[in-house]
Structure 1
C-alpha cells in the first residue's frame, strides 16, 4: 500500500533511510560520506522535507519504502534492503509519475546516487548530466511521461 507520509512516520522513515545508506549505498560511497548522509536524514529533517515536498511511504510489514516529489522532481527514494526486487521502488516511482502526469508535466526528473543509477535506467530514465554535490556524484536523469 502506498500512502501519504504522516508526521508519526518520521522516525521509521529516517531509520529506513539510514539503514539503506549503511547497508546498500555504503558499497558505492566512503564511510565518512555515509556518516554525513545519515546525520542529515534525522526525523526532524524528514518532517521538514515532508513540509516542502509531497512524501509517500510504502507499507507492508511496516514502512518498506519512501519517495518524495516536488512537481515532476523525484527525491529521497529508498526501499528497505530486505524488500529489494519486489517491485516496491517501481510502484512508488510510478505512483508519483502518475500524479505528475495528471498535473500536466511531460517528464519526470531525478538526481540519482551511484547506487540508484541502474534502477532508474531500467525504468526508462536517461542521462541528462552529472553533477557533484555535498553528498558525492549525482546523476541527473529524465523520463518522458505519457500525455493525459
Structure 2
C-alpha cells in the first residue's frame, strides 16, 4: 500500500469511494437528509475546490484507491482548528487496518505543524474508530442537528 497526495485525476475515484460510504454505511446510522447533505458537500467539483485548502491523501493498493483522508484548518491563522476531514475507507475493507494506516499518516503530517490538539467532526459510524485512536468527545457539540460528534485528541 502506498499513501500519496490526491491528484486531480483521482477526484472521480475518491468521490465514488466517499459516495459508497454514505450510501452503504452511513445511511444505516444517519438520516437520509443528512446523508444527502454531506454527499452534496463532497461531490467532485467540491473536492476540487477543497484541494486548494486541505491536505488530501489517498491510499492505493494494486493501483486502486482504497482510502482517503484530509487535514483541514476549520479555524483561521489567529485561531487554527486543525481537523481530520474526508476520512473514508472502501466499505468492504473496513476493519482491516487501512483506516489506522491513513490516520497515522495524517498524524505525522499534523505533528509537523506543532499544534497541541487535533479535532475531528465524526459521523456516528466513525465514533468507535476515533475513540480507539485516542479522541474524546468534546463537551460542546455545535453540530448536533447535522448528526456530527466533535472529538479532540491532545498531541502534546
Match of 2:71 in 1: 69
The unaligned stretches of length 5 or more in structure 2 are: 74-81
Cα distance in 2 for partners of 1:41, 1:21 equals: 10
Normalised TM-score (structure 2): 0.86
* Structure 1 residue runs of 4 or more that deviate by more than 6 Å after TM superposition: none
Q: Secondary structure at the match of 2:142?
A: strand
SS of the equivalent of 1:51 reads: coil
1:22-51 deviation digits (Å, cap 9, x = unpaired):
000011112233233223321111111111
Match among 127, 142, 145 for residue 131 of structure 1: 142
Residues 1:96 and 2:106 aligned together: yes
The range that moved more, 12-21 or 66-75, is: 66-75
**Residues 1-148 of structure 1 mapped to structure 2, 5 A cutoff:** 1-61=2-62, 62-70=64-72, 72-128=82-138, 129-132=140-143, 136-146=146-156
Residue-by-residue CA offset, 1:69-123 (whole Å, 9 max, x unaligned): 0253111101111111111111111111111112211221111111111110011
Tell me the SS of whatever aligns to 2:134: coil
Structure having the larger proportion of residues in strand: 1
**Structure 1, unpaired ranges of 5+:** none
- CA-based RMSD of the aligned residues comes to 1.6
- Report the alpha carbon displacement of residue 133 of structure 1 after superposing the two structures with TM: 6.1
| Count of aligned pairs | 145
Q: TM-score, normalised by structure 1?
A: 0.90
Aligned-residue offset at 1:131: 2.5
